[in-house]
Amino acid sequence: MTAPLKIRCGWKAVHLITLSTLLGLGGCRDQNADMYDSTILVVTDFAKGADSWKADYSDYQLNEADSIHFVSGIRSLPMPLDTSRKAFLVGSTNASDDLFMFLKRKLSGLRPTTNYQIVYELELASKYPAQSVGIGGSPGLALHLKVGASAVEPVKVEKNQGYYLNLDKGDQATGGKDVILIGDASNDNTDDRYRLVRRFSNGKNLMAQTDKNGDLWLVVGTDSGYEGRTDLYYSRILVSLRPIVPQ
């Protein structure tokens, strides 16, 4: 069952200003505005639950499955952060040296068969410093953070003795047609303490077309080259979608 779109003017003003500037908005739209013509803001605060986001992982060989130890779900933020706050944990051991861990959510009620310009803002907790060394790459810099959208549901499909994402996400530090690279998931520091960091897709060209029913899938994930354990906590996801309608 698909959850209804949540259209809000929340989070923080500074973030909405960033989105408004990029998309040419005049501030938040009225919540009763026509969804066919207006920019839609979809805001998820995982302190209030999963909000229809689901977790999965891909890009590994069949014989590596038992070594991945994938975990996901709503959890308390880790110390030294505010443990009374909830976030969406996604964690695994990167046995394949190429694991993609992702969250996905289906949106309905958009304009059918229409291109949308899409902007993401993410807040997540990471403990992996950028300037660090690990097997296969830096535990921070090798966590390539990606966002995307598609009318096709993101799922892993079996091929070449493994499971791989059915969308074009590129590979590690390279983005793809459906899922683009926006940075890394390091903690923006030199220690290995969990810190809340923010990432934006500003300046990146991300567009996707809805299907004939006005449905679209969102996807957020990390394409990792670090061959160790990674546990990330997504606390907020904000997505802006503007229809590209011919004049």
Take residue 161 and report the two structure tokens written for it.
């003795």
Q: What is the pLDDT of residue 138?
A: 54
Within a domain: residue 7?
Answer: no
Q: What is the pLDDT of residue 158?
A: 98
Within a domain: residue 38?
Answer: yes
pTM over 0.75: yes
For each successive 10 residues of the chain (247 residues), what is the average pLDDT? 43 38 37 62 98 98 95 99 98 87 98 98 94 52 92 98 97 94 92 96 94 99 85 98 88
Backbone angles phi, psi at 87, to 5 degrees: -150, 170
Q: What is the pLDDT of residue 36?
A: 60
Within a domain: residue 110?
Answer: yes
Asked if 232 and 169 touch (Cβ cutoff 8 Å), the reply is no
What is the largest distance, in Å, between two alpha-carbon atoms of the chain? Answer: 53
Within a domain: residue 3?
Answer: no
Within a domain: residue 236?
Answer: yes
C-alpha to C-alpha distance for 29 and 19, rounded to whole angstroms: 12
C-alpha to C-alpha distance for 124 and 215, rounded to whole angstroms: 26
Asked if 180 and 134 touch (Cβ cutoff 8 Å), the reply is no
Q: What is the pLDDT of residue 83?
A: 98
HEC states along 45-110? EHHHCCCCCEEEEECEEHHHHHHCCCEEEEEECCCCCCCCCEEEEEEEECCCCCCEEEEEEEECCC
Asked if 211 and 115 touch (Cβ cutoff 8 Å), the reply is no
Within a domain: residue 25?
Answer: yes
β-strand pairing of 115-126 with 207-209: antiparallel
Within a domain: residue 41?
Answer: yes
Within a domain: residue 5?
Answer: no
- Looking at residue 97, which CATH number applies to its domain? 2.60.120
- For the chain, what is the domain count? 1
Domain extent for 152: 13-243
